[in-house]
Homo-oligomer: A and B are copies of this chain.
Amino acid sequence: MSEQQTLFRTHNAGELRKEHVGQSVVLNGWVQRRRDLGNLIFIDLRDRSGFAQAVFQPSEDEQHQLLMAQGDKLRSEFVIAVEGVVAAREAANTKIPTGEIEVKVTKIEILNAAKTTPFYIQDNIEVDENLRLKYRYLDLRRAEMQKIFLLRSKVTTYMRNFMDQNSFIEVETPILTKSTPEGARDYLVPSRVHPGEFYALPQSPQLFKQLLMVSGFERYYQIARCFRDEDLRADRQPEFTQIDIEQSFLSMEQFQAMMEELMTGVFKATIGVDIPRPFPRITYGEAMARYGSDKPDIRFGLELQDLTEQVRGSGFKVFNLAIENGGQVKCIVAPGCATYSRKQIDELEAFVKRYGAKGMAWIAVQEEGVKSPIAKFFSEEELAAIIERAGAQKGDLLLFAADSKKVVADSLGALRSKLGKELGLIDESEFKFIWVTEFPLLEHDEEANRYVAAHHPFTMPMEEDLHLLETDPANVRAKAYDLALNGFELGGGSMRIFNREIQERMFQALGFSLEEAWEQFGFLLEAFEYGTPPHGGIALGLDRMIMIMAGRQSLRDTIAFPKTTSASDLMTNAPSPVVIEQLDSLHIALGGKATTSIEKQEAEETEAK
């Protein structure tokens, strides 16, 4: 069925307009659809630019009858080349860009046939995602998907040029690198040449980019593939892409300003959105207190209200107990929700319980007065004071959390996001960036009973807290800055340690002995002694950024060939068994816990849902 192509495109189908009328053109592309009106055949011919209508008209001419016979064979998704003359349509279709013209076909080549596709090549299809992933090459043929990858390419092109104009050099760092004990689980690659040894795929180019600063490159960037063998949630992929940036000799403020210029520039250039600068800044402490989140969505209010002082010593045991245990009592004021049914409130309570809350007290400020199961524990004055302090109006519903600081933040933070969406408080066309600063340097890992790095072990402590590193590590703040956008963490950055002694102290704070630190990171510690400049940087999640810009819900829509939640590629069937000779040459054998994998089952069950 396939012919040798001799008709090569002169125009993009989607760009034909009235001014082309009378011109002879060649279009190459796919049959979007074919309508046969007996003596006339209409084709929507689609290419990357859009589509145009092509017409096969009958004629006495023998040549033309052959043409009609060809047109008769066409089906959806056939690949064709047509030559023809652009003509004005009798009845213009103003709904489509090419609706004023059609191409009267004089010649056709059928370059390839097509079977009926497993789903329609059109937008807004309701198809099982697994089927879309198996036939990813067809899924990507749909205009809404093409648009995402065009956007992605435009975004990276813009960003690269911005970096280039600001004297950043693109340097590629290795994918086959060394396994390090900190951070997430590594993907490993057995070495054939060195029996029993392994490379690791990088979780980020962190060490290499810092070494490039030691090398005096001063300004580095890379759009870098990174790998984490994590249990996959809906918004994680085993491989992902980050815009990785590192610079020397700039202050934190200078660098942040440059990143704001980058971000506002790319949003303006690619999706035409104006974003004011400078971006607001908030400390981690304030973000957790006001939004219950270290990546607050500031497109709406609904802030957490602290009522700890108002309710201290009240008659309500649950509140008192929380406060006595060093916790807090906070609430969210849901506007206009005072008439929520018991069932609606129960659902909200079930929701916050997922985040560790043991229950959820509430007060409805109804027209006819306060309604609340906890009203009886408070005097009228106390109730009025609570309502006033919370800033609630008639018609509002106060939803409480009383627990440890963490549980209060987690549960009310999640509740805030949920209500923000459900109550329509969010303008989905808005993009609101915010810098979150002064993160804690360390977090206590209860399981391992030691401190772990909140960002990574190379983050510089704030100078004024440095003296606490050994004595009060939990209260050391980091020179770290996350960039949040619409409630997502878009990137994490920091100024780095560039001094051997501080880096050694940091490793020790993480429970390493000096010997262990040198065994694992000796090349970095040594490098710091040969003239290392002050430096810092950021890593921005490209996949997530595109997801937000394109208004999608899943990272899988922003990666051309993504993996499922069980890290499978449904199109190629990767991963897959390999022949034993391959394992032999890598000096490994199947073994360990290989018989059944609970995680795999769980992942498959999740996917099936």
> Are the CB atoms of B215 and A137 closer together than 8 Å?
yes
> Are the CB atoms of B533 and A225 closer together than 8 Å?
no
User: Which of A300-308, A395-403, A569-577 is near enough to bind chain B?
Assistant: A569-577
1/0 contact string of A54-93 vs chain B (CB within 8 Å): 0000000000000000000000011101000000000000
Q: Least Cβ distance of A134 to chain B in Å?
A: 8
* A297 located at the interface, meaning its Cβ lies under 8 Å from any Cβ of chain B in the complex: no
* A37 located at the interface, meaning its Cβ lies under 8 Å from any Cβ of chain B in the complex: no
> Are the CB atoms of B176 and A153 closer together than 8 Å?
no
Q: Least Cβ distance of A145 to chain B in Å?
A: 8
User: Which of A285-293, A314-322, A372-380, A596-604 is near enough to bind chain B?
Assistant: A596-604
Q: Known contacts A8-B251, A137-B530; is A584 also within 8 Å of B592 by CB? A: yes
Interface positions, chain A 536-567, Cβ under 8 Å from B, are 559-561, 563, 566-567
When chains A and B are docked, how far (Å) is the Cα of A193 from the Cα of B601?
A: 9
Looking at the complex, which one of B530, B559, B595 makes contact with A115 (CB distance below 8 Å)? B530
In the bound complex, residues from chain B placing their C-beta under 8 Å from that of A251 are 5, 8
When chains A and B are docked, how far (Å) is the Cα of A602 from the Cα of B179?
A: 18
When chains A and B are docked, how far (Å) is the Cα of A250 from the Cα of B26?
A: 13
> Are the CB atoms of B576 and A587 closer together than 8 Å?
no
User: Which of A157-165, A421-429, A446-454 is near enough to bind chain B?
Assistant: A157-165
* A174 located at the interface, meaning its Cβ lies under 8 Å from any Cβ of chain B in the complex: yes
Looking at the complex, which one of B172, B195, B208, B217 makes contact with A241 (CB distance below 8 Å)? B172
Interface positions, chain A 444-485, Cβ under 8 Å from B, are 463
Interface positions, chain A 118-153, Cβ under 8 Å from B, are 135-138, 140-141, 146, 149-150, 152-153
When chains A and B are docked, how far (Å) is the Cα of A572 from the Cα of B601?
A: 37
Could you say which of A30, A79, A138, A196 has the most chain B C-beta atoms within 10 Å of its C-beta? A196
Name which residue of chain B comes closest to A226, CB basis: B175
In the bound complex, residues from chain B placing their C-beta under 8 Å from that of A5 are 249, 251, 534
* A310 located at the interface, meaning its Cβ lies under 8 Å from any Cβ of chain B in the complex: no
User: Which of A197-205, A265-273, A486-494 is near enough to bind chain B?
Assistant: A197-205
* A212 located at the interface, meaning its Cβ lies under 8 Å from any Cβ of chain B in the complex: yes
Chain A positions within 8 Å of B, measured between CB atoms, are: 2, 4-5, 8-9, 28-31, 46-48, 77-79, 81, 111-115, 117, 135-138, 140-141, 146, 149-150, 152-153, 156-157, 160-161, 164, 167, 169-179, 185-201, 207-208, 211-212, 214-219, 225, 227, 229, 238-239, 241, 248-251, 254, 463, 498-499, 523, 527-534, 559-561, 563, 566-569, 571-578, 582-601, 603
* 27 A-B pairs whose Cβ atoms sit less than 8 Å apart in the complex: A30-B216, A47-B216, A47-B218, A79-B531, A112-B498, A135-B530, A140-B212, A146-B216, A160-B160, A172-B225, A175-B227, A176-B227, A177-B572, A178-B573, A179-B574, A185-B582, A194-B575, A194-B600, A195-B593, A196-B594, A196-B597, A196-B598, A198-B578, A225-B225, A523-B572, A587-B591, A587-B597
